[in-house]
Structures are given as C-alpha cells and as structure tokens.
Amino acid sequence: EYLKYKDPKQPLGARIKDLLRRMTLEEKIGQMTQIERTVASADVMRNYYIGSVLSGGGSAPSQEASPQAWINMVNDFQSGSLSTRLGIPMIYGIDAVHGHNNVYGATIFPHNVGLGATGEPKLVRRIGVATALEVRATGIPYVFAPCIAVCRDPRWGRCYESYSEDPSVVRAMTEVVNGLQGEIPKGSRLGVPFVAGKKNVVACAKHYVGDGGTTRGINENNTVTSWHGLLSIHMTGYFTSIIKGVSTVMVSYSSVNGVKMHANRDLVTGILKKTLRFRGFVISDWQGIDRITTPPHSNYSYSIYAGISAGIDMVGFFQVYVQFSEELGIQLTGDFNLWQIMVPYNYTELIDGLTYQVNNNLIPVSRIDDAVRRILRVKFMMGLFEDPMADTSLVYQLGSREHRELAREAVRKSLVLLKNGESVDKPLLPLPKKAGKILVAGSHADNLGSQCGGWTIEWQGLSGNNLTIGTTILSAIKSTVDLTTQVVYEENPEAKYVKSGEFSYAIVVVGEPPYAETQGDNLNLTIPEPGPSTISNVCGEVKCVVVIISGRPLVIEPYVNMMGAIVAAWLPGTEGQGVADVLFGDYGFTAKLPRTWFRRVDQLPMNVGDDHYDPLYPFGQREREREI
Ligand SMILES: OC[C@@H]1[C@@H](O)[C@H](O)[C@@H](O)c2nc(-c3ccccc3)cn21
C-alpha cells in the first residue's frame, strides 16, 4: 500500500498531514513523551509509541562505552519504534554542551564562558560542526545545546554554560547552531527548523527564557524583569537562533515574574510560537512539568494540564521517586534532590494523565495535534524517516586529532590575561621555555576532571585523570619547556620548600571543583582551599603566574598583589596544551573578559552598563603582554 507520509518526494506538509490523520490519540501522545534510556527498551518503545529517548547527564550504556556500544543501544530502541504500526522513528537526545561530554574519548571543548571570551563566532561554529560529527559518531542525532542563557549573576551554578553577561555576545555565539545543524538556505521561511544532513544534528536553544537572570543566581528560581529587560537581555539569543533555523527550544525550570516557565502560555505559545513563529518543537526540561508545583510532582494532573496548555510539545519524563521516612511512615516532600529511589512512578502516569485530559476535553485535541505536527516536522525535515538507523561511518570522528587541535585552538583563544607583572616594562608573560628549574603547583595543575568542569562523563563532572582522554596543564607544560628545563610539580608546597627550591619561576593552577546546576550555586565565590594557601605559599617566595580554572569570576582581590601574573582559563576541557601554548608565547593572548570580574560578592549582581560599576577587571578587559 502506498503511504504518502513515507514518500520523501512528497512535500513536508503533505507528509505531516497524511501521517497525523492516521495516528490514534495513543500514538500521538506517545510521540510527545520522552523517556530516559534507563527505562527504555525496544518493547517499551513499541508498546507506548515513545517519540524520544534521552541520556541524562552521565547516562551511558556502560563505563567507557565505545561508539559501537552507543550505536547498538540507539538502534535497539529505534528497532522498537520502527516495529510499531506506523513505524515512526524515535529521536535520541543528549547534552553535548562542550563537545560530546557524556562519551568517553570525546573531545571536550571549553565551556561556553570560555568560548564567549574568544569573541569568535566562526570558531564557535567550527566547534558546532565538530561536535555534531562526534555526536553522530555514536548514532545520536539530537543535542540539548546551545545554552543561550545570559548569566547576570556569577553566583548561579550554571553561569559557565552562558557565553556572556552581554546579550550581544550570546547573540553572536548562536553561530554554533549553524555548526550543529548546518546553515539554513537563504530565503528559507523564518522560524522553520533546519538540519542539513546526516553529519548534522538537531539543536536545542535553552533554557527558554530568562534562566540566567534568576534572583541572586539561585538556580531554577525567579527572574524579576521588565518587558524591555526580558526582550533586550534574555530573549535576544532566541531571535537569532530561530532565524538560523534552530529545531527545538527547551523550556527553563525558572520563573519569570513569578510565573513558572513550564506553565507560561504567554511566553511559550504567545511569544515563541505565535509572535516569533517558531515552527520546531518545544521540549520540557527533565521533570520540568513536575516542578511546576511545589513540591515537584505533588499535583501531576495540574502539571500535565498547565505544561501542555502552555505549549510544551514534548515532555521529558523519567521515573520519579519519593522518599518515605521509614520511622515516620509518611511521604516526605521537599526539594527534588532529596528524593531517593523508593516508589517509582511509571511514565504511563504521563500518558494516562494526558489521555484522560484530552478525552475529557480539558486539553483540546488541537493542542495535541499542534505538538505532534511540530515533532513530525522536525523528524521528517531531518531525514529521520529515511535514515532512522545509526551506522558506524563516523566512528573515527570521535576525539579525532583534528577536533582536539580545534579544541586546543579554542583554549588558546579563551585565556584572558588579567595581570602581567608589576608594570608594563616588567611583564612576566610569556614565560621563558629555557629556565633551569621551575615549579608547577596547585590543585588544578594535574587534574583533567577539574579542568573540564561539570557535564563531563558524569553530570556533576569528576576530579582526577581517569575520566577520559586528554592533556593536563602539567603535562602540557612539561612538553612545552626546553629539554634542559627541570619541571617540579608539588600540588600544595610549604613556603619554606618554595623558598629553598631555587626556582626560576612558578606556575600555580587553582580554582573551582567541577559542579553542575544547583550544586554550583555559590554565594561567596571564594577560591576553595587549599587554593589561596598555595597562592600565598608559592607567590610569596618566587615570581608566579596564577592560572585560575573556574566557571566564573571568583574572589581574588586579596591576592592580586602577590600574584605576578593572572590568567583566567575558565573550564578549558581536555586540551590543556592550549594553556601552555600561550603561557610560553607560542601564541599570544587574544581573549577578553566575557563577564565582569567583581571585587566582592556584595557588589553582585553587577554587569557592564550598570550605573554603579566598580569591578576589579571590567567586562571586555584584557591586559597587554610584552611584544616578543
Ligand atoms: O539532561 C537533560 C536536561 C538538560 O538538557 C538541561 O539543560 C538541564 O537543566 C537538566 N537537568 C536535568 C536534571 C536535573 C536534576 C536531576 C535530574 C536531571 C536534566 N536536564
């Protein structure tokens, strides 16, 4: 039997219309449901017509899983979807937010704050191209990236996921959408989703909207803003992303002026879909509709009603667990993170709940059809019906030498020189490669996990050197200096050791431990010990360059005078060689501060353009280095 929707020669609209009219309500609602891979299987895909599967942060088929293992997993789920009555392929999504960061051996690029410092949209686009290749190498066609948050307060645990405090920088960096998806053909209708082909991936502009403007940077909290503030600061990245054909938008856990974004019909349906004419699909954040209520999931019927009515098209769902207090025998409520595995709610709760509300006219079928039409538009447009199964043709791209060189270039271009010696005519940088004996110190000098930060192999990231393949800053230094130069590494040396060491100079690498989301919320922003002790023990005895590894500006004013030179390196990722390339002058410093470097946290929030602006180093700052 000829099935119009299966005919790639048919126009997109005709295929969507033909398929939609064939679908039962159950099949439509299945398409709107996204489940986590841990609860997915070919049978579940088949029996519930599931539209999408995702890997949450750190969720992989196995430890150090190979590309083949990823491909086998994705294809197993896909075979279930293709065996359904209508054979609608599922789409697998993952957070590739600084390279394919869930995957062992992938190239890990600098987090977005470092890319904002480069000021090079074309570089960021090239990173998008490379990331798409590595994601496709593992059989995955959809990434929950880019985050186009405009972080306005560095106390926010996700500030490093934001390119800049300045919306014009964030707007420029949406070039990454062109890298990930491919460049939308000139003259395309505005707002339509676009993916060029099988070496590209569906992108996701997130988190809509105002995620970076929450009060005191409290994650998932409330953004208080005027209409002008929302449009001029937080919305601008969406305008450019939609013009570039971004295929999906993820809604933010946070609220705007007290209204939960996951229940915000005015902004999701009114502005994004109607005014901006966005034609891709809107996806919830993971458990996003559950968090419409406090505590989360405490009125799931309302969550379904409010979320779907607001205009969410695909619901990221996963098992919800509730902690029972054994001795009290009562159901505890409270923040999601306190909930433990006890009583798993099944995702059929979403499917049954939504089915009930449609059958009882609480949610109109037209809303369901709008959601499914958008989901199908993306799946047809990207060629998923024609090429649903993953293959191994791109496996060689994962962590390739070419991509690591690109990441190394990005690291070089992300390093901001904040201080260089005590005066212009006595610069410390670039350092001489031939130097007798040098000291390398600090918690972050020999720690690949710390230099990658959160969202790396594990959701929260990892400390240490076994998490994946890469180059630590220490090993980069060793391979850059002259063969006759002795490199001594002491993580946290005593002052007297430094004093008696007869070192020509020292490089101190300190900063923040890895973190993600709420775990990164921080009201004091001090460098965790032993960072400050290492700085004073070393820099008090020998001229030193301090490299700060952090997702954001930190309190450094108390130590500025003792630090000979200061380099903000952000979260560089696996290619630590880029740091040594610049410290030793093989390349110059070109980056500028993408964020204001405050003096004290009591000044926050403080952003470029504010009336009261008294930073330690202003937005756009870069120190000059001596001409070599
Ligand atoms: O990984 C999927 C999405 C990701 O794309 C979003 O940027 C991010 O807000 C997010 N948080 C969780 C998540 C948070 C807490 C517990 C479990 C999961 C899941 N996700």
Any residues with CB less than 8 A from the CB of 444 and at least 6 apart, and which?
450, 451, 473, 509, 510, 511, 547, 549
DSSP state for residue 594 in the 8-state scheme: S
Q: What is the pLDDT of residues 574-613, one digit of tens each?
A: 999 999 999 999 999 999 999 999 999 999 999 999 999 9
Predicted confidence at residue 318, as pLDDT, reads 62
Share of the chain above pLDDT 70, in %: 95
pLDDT-derived band at 335, boundaries 50, 70, 90? very low
Residue 331 pLDDT more than 90?
Answer: no
317 close to ligand 1 (CB < 6 Angstrom): no
CB of 549 closer than 8 Å to CB of 510: yes
Taking residues 485-506, what's their average pLDDT?
98
The two tokens of residue 198 are 């099988």
546 DSSP β-pair partners: 508, 566
CA nearest ligand 1 atom 1, residue: 56
Ligand 1 atom closest to 459 (CA): 1
Ligand 1 close to Cβ of residue 157 (< 6 A): no
What is the pLDDT at residue 423? Answer: 87
Q: Compute CA distances 322 → 35, 559, 564, whole Å.
A: 18, 46, 52
144 close to ligand 1 (CB < 6 Angstrom): yes
Residue type, 94: I
Look up the pTM and report it: 0.96
Which residues have a catalytic role annotated? 285, 517
Q: What is the mean pLDDT of the chain?
A: 94
**Whole-angstrom distance between the N-terminal and C-terminal Cα of the chain?**
73
Ligand 1 pocket, residue 288 CB under 6 Å: no
Cα 144 to averaged position of ligand 1 atoms, centre (Å)? 10
> Residue whose CA is closest, atom 5 of ligand 1?
144
Q: Is 206 a pocket residue for ligand 1 (Cβ < 6 Å)?
A: yes
Residue 333: is its pLDDT beyond 50? no
Burial of 421 (0-12, 13-18, 19+ CB in 10 A): middle
Q: Is 464 left (phi over 0), alpha (psi -120 to 50) or beta?
A: left
288 CA distance to ligand 1 centroid (A)? 9
**Cβ 576 vs Cβ 476: under 8 Å:** yes
pLDDT, residue 207, reads: 98
- What would the mean pLDDT of 494-500 be, rounded to a whole number? 98
Which residues have a Cβ under 8 Å from the Cβ of 503 and sit 6 or more positions away?
A: 437, 438, 439, 488, 542
Best mutation site among 285, 287, 317, 340 for ligand 1, i.e. most ligand atoms within 8 A of its Cβ? Answer: 285
Largest distance between two CA atoms of the chain: 86
Question: pLDDT confidence of 626, banded at 50, 70, 90?
Answer: low
ipTM exceeds 0.95? yes
| Cα 317 to averaged position of ligand 1 atoms, centre (Å) | 11
For position 621, what pLDDT does the model report?
A: 87
Position 339 pLDDT exceeds 70: no
Range 576-602 burial, b when 16+ CB lie within 10 A, else e: bbbbbbbbbbebbbbbbbbbbbbbebe
Give the three-state DSSP class for 175: helix
- Site to probe by mutation for ligand 1, drawn from 317, 336, 517, 519 as the one with most ligand atoms within 8 Å of Cβ, is 517
